[in-house]
Amino acid sequence: MPGGKFIHRSLVVDGRLYAIAGANEHVFHATIRADGSLEPWRMTAPLNVNYPAAAVKGNRIYMVAGSRRGVRAQNAVFYGDVQPDGSIKEWIEGTALPDDVLQGGEAVVVGNNLYYIGGWHRRQAFRALIGDKGDLGTWQEVQHLLSPRCGFGSATFGGEIYVFGGSIIHLVPTDSACRVKVLGDGALAKWRRTASLPVERGVFATAQHENQIAIVGGSDFSDEVYLTRVLPDGNLADWSAGPPLPRHLNYPGAAAYRGWVYVTGGWGQKEDGSRYVSNEVFAAPLAGPAQ
């Protein structure tokens, strides 16, 4: 990438990989070629949000909560529309969350609903209806998590939301994972336990391709990769180890596209213990077909 990034978000829209905000306001994007390699990175409209959550519906990217320079945490929501050339003209402020101390949570889209889940010492979950033009309705509180959770991962598949890892309290990582069904009116059923991670881990990045899920890096500057998939009964399969990253990274970004996982940036640690902000990008195919 043109510059280093961590505590940012990566995602794919229309065949382009994005690395958005985080510890600096830069927004980068690169077209993914047919062979999985990347074209040169480009810069587009900046966004000053640190440790945000992110979700996509169509060509609209939603960046939810996080913190801004001089503000510990916030409830603001921004959205940007991806243009045909991959650029984002501007970030527009949307309907704010009802709580003003929110960072370290996750955002997901299921149907026409945008959800924000968890955050620093939080177990609350909120839902906003996405209108026909992509605008957001009023946020409503929905079924809470079983316990507070921040710095975790999330995925959606088959009308369910999955959360895994992160920290329950005081930055102590957990291995627990939960799932919840999205009801017809957008409300959430009760959260239930599902297959735990093989290790206690937080501040990693998550990538999802269909029913396959990968988590990469994370707390204690890990190079580990773990894989699972959503089973026909809605549970997560037992997690298995994947090929390790070439670097040891906290707070990287990750996204998946056409069976490839892309890992962007992160707060790295070298063999001598020195630390740095990474601008590197790594890619690897997901092991095995979705089942």
CA-angle at 173, arms to 170 and 175, nearest 5°:
145
CA distance 230 to 235: 6
* Tens digit of pLDDT at every position of the chain (291 positions): 999 999 999 999 999 999 999 999 999 999 999 999 999 999 999 999 999 999 999 999 999 998 876 666 689 999 999 999 999 999 999 999 997 667 899 999 999 999 999 998 889 999 999 999 899 999 999 999 999 999 999 999 999 999 999 998 777 899 999 999 999 999 999 999 999 999 999 999 999 999 999 999 999 899 999 999 999 999 999 999 999 999 999 999 999 999 999 999 999 999 898 999 999 999 999 865 444
Q: pTM to 2 decimals?
A: 0.95
Spans of all domains in the chain: 9-204
pLDDT, residue 126, reads 96
Residue 23: burial class (beta carbons within 10 Å; 0-12, 13-18, 19+): middle
Q: Which fold has domain 9-204?
A: Neuraminidase (2.120.10)
pLDDT, residue 68, reads 76
pLDDT, residue 291, reads 42
> Nearest to residue 214, comparing CAs of 263, 172, 175?
263
pLDDT, residue 289, reads 41
pLDDT, residue 208, reads 97
